[in-house]
């Protein structure tokens, strides 16, 4: 049986010039041989050849690209903002909103051995990124008197450890029937010649296929069917590594429902031309995002007649998708992008190699490529300081330290707005639980007195 499978795999590898994948096969134990043959047999070699041939050599076109117009939330008056928020709360009360968080990454860049969502950014409460989102959803669910279903996309690498982390944390008080874990797919990584890499003698180097796989993964897993059964109409999408994300934000939901385009996105103005966030734009007249790693320098530097960045609206990966649109995208094939990365592999003798420079391409789908299937989407500018604290690197910009400081400053601003004297919070690092306040509301006189009279640092 094993020999028959081996013969089949050898013919397949010969057809696609990938024979090197079996170079250590003879010396492997039987169990490892079977595992490697199964991995190879599961690869779509025609797809891999096409991806290398087309995607690696594809250049991002800059013709037929133009700046996109965005709504400015701050430009709406208080009555308009209240109307949008009321409409969003109505959607939540009627059970028409689901939350989707993409959490397939590991925390290795942060020095954390585990799923990135399980990372503690150093708050006084030591809450993980997952717990911060869970408690924001619990607060909204309590206020709306309606459970918000939460769909969590993992990867094969961290699926089991993510579920274990939730189980050990008692799901942060979330009702288990309202949490749905689903996995994104993986694809082999290739070297500069298109050869599939080995991570070990008996293991193919596999990489998650990107956040854009969420639509297909939601479909494969039955999550979209589950949403339909629940009567969901809007999917609130975000990344796990934004410490300030206002997951299932009622005001944003109401704004999206008001315009009722297939999708909506929050954006912030790019802080500087080389900031590593995607650029919202129009491509051939349709809404689009050019990822910063794909964007030509001239596009990133381009300025308008007023001297402002022409493509100033940055993508912060906070989106809303109408369920019917998500179903459409789930049945479509988005375009793959090639990411040039440093990936651990082995050399010709089977010794581990940790490269100093990018040695591989991994292939990814981007969720924002779905926008081009819509004639128009709602794009709204939001407050970076209140909603965008990415945790990407161990130190420096976009690190736990910067995210933590942004959260402290935001919570300090809530207290000042609620009437706490400035001297009571000056130079203090005060954390307010999402269960206490979602966005600065509900800070009671007793709570404010505790802040004023004591040195408590978390509420």
Dihedral over alpha carbons 8, 10, 15, 18 (to 10 degrees): 140
For residue range 246-278, list pLDDT tens digits in order: 999 999 999 999 999 999 999 999 999 999 999
User: What percentage of the chain carries pLDDT values higher than 90?
Assistant: 84
**238 burial type by CB count under 10 A (0-12 exposed, 13-18 middle, 19+ buried):** buried
Kind plus residue range of the DSSP H or E element containing 288: strand 286-290
Give the model's confidence band at 62: pLDDT under 50 very low, under 70 low, under 90 confident, else very high: low
Q: Compute φ and ψ for 268, nearest 5 degrees.
A: -125, 155
Question: Tell me, what DSSP letter sits at residue 21?
Answer: G
Query: CATH homologous superfamily for 62-392?
Result: Spore Coat Polysaccharide Biosynthesis Protein SpsA; Chain A (3.90.550.10)
Gyration radius of the chain over CA positions: 24
pLDDT value, residue 87: 98
Burial class (CB in 10 A: 0-12, 13-18, 19+), 295: buried
Burial of 37 (0-12, 13-18, 19+ CB in 10 A): buried
Predicted local confidence at residue 60, as pLDDT: 57
User: Other CB atoms closer than 10 Å to residue 29's CB: what's the count?
Assistant: 9
Tell me the percentage of the chain whose pLDDT exceeds 70: 97
The answer to whether 293 touches 338, Cβ cutoff 8 Å, is no
Domain residues of the chain, as ranges? 62-392, 399-459
Under DSSP, is residue 294 helix (H, G, I), strand (E, B) or coil? coil
Cα gap 406→35, rounded to integer Å: 46
The model's confidence at residue 61, banded by pLDDT at 50, 70 and 90, is: low
Residue 124, pLDDT above cutoff 80: yes
- Cα four-point dihedral sign 287, 325, 232, 105: negative
Count, residues in the chain: 459
Cα dihedral 93/440/405/426 (nearest 10): -170
**Structure pTM?**
0.94
pLDDT single digits (tens) 325-383 = 999 999 999 999 998 999 999 999 999 999 999 999 999 999 999 999 999 999 999 99
């Amino acid at each position: 049986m094993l020999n028959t499978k081996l013969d089949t795999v050898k013919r397949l590898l010969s057809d696609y010039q990938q024979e090197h994948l079996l170079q250590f096969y003879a010396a492997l134990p039987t169990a490892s041989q079977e595992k490697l043959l199964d991995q190879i047999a599961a690869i779509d070699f025609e797809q891999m050849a096409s991806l290398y041939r087309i995607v690696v050599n594809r250049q991002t076109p800059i013709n037929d690209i133009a700046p996109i117009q965005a709504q400015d939330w701050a430009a709406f008056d208080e009555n308009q903002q209240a109307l949008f928020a009321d409409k969003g709360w109505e959607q939540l009360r009627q059970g028409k909103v689901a939350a989707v968080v993409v959490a397939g990454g590991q925390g290795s860049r942060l020095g954390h051995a585990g799923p990135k969502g399980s990372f503690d950014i150093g708050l006084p409460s030591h809450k993980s990124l997952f717990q911060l989102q869970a408690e924001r959803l619990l607060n909204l669910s309590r206020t709306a008197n309606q459970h918000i279903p939460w769909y969590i996309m993992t990867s094969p690498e961290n699926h089991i450890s993510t579920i274990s982390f939730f189980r050990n944390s008692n799901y942060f008080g979330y009702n288990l029937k309202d949490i749905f874990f689903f996995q994104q797919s993986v694809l082999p990584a290739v070297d500069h010649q298109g050869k599939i890499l080995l991570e070990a003698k008996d293991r193919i180097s596999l990489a998650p296929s990107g956040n854009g796989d969420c639509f297909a993964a939601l479909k494969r897993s039955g999550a979209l069917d589950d949403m339909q059964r629940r009567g969901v109409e809007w999917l609130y999408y975000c990344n796990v590594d934004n410490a300030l994300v206002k997951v299932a934000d009622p005001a944003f939901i109401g704004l999206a429902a008001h315009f009722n385009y297939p999708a909506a996105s929050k954006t912030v103005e790019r802080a500087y031309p080389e900031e590593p966030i995607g650029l919202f734009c129009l491509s051939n007249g349709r809404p689009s995002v050019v990822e910063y790693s794909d964007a030509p320098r001239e596009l990133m530097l381009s300025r308008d007649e007023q001297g402002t960045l022409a493509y100033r609206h940055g993508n912060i990966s906070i989106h809303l998708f109408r369920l019917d649109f998500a179903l459409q995208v789930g049945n479509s094939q988005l375009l793959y992008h090639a990411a040039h990365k440093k990936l651990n592999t082995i050399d010709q003798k089977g010794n581990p190699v940790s490269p100093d420079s990018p040695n591989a391409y991994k292939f990814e789908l981007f969720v924002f490529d779905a926008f081009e299937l819509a004639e128009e989407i709602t794009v709204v500018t939001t407050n970076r300081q209140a909603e965008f604290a990415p945790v990407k690197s161990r130190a420096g910009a976009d690190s736990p330290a910067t995210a933590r400081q942004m959260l402290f400053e935001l919570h300090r601003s809530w207290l000042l707005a609620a009437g706490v004297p400035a001297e009571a919070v000056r130079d203090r690092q005060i954390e307010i639980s999402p269960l206490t306040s979602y966005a600065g509301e509900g800070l009671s006189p007793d709570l404010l007195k505790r802040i004023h009279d004591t040195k408590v640092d978390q509420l």
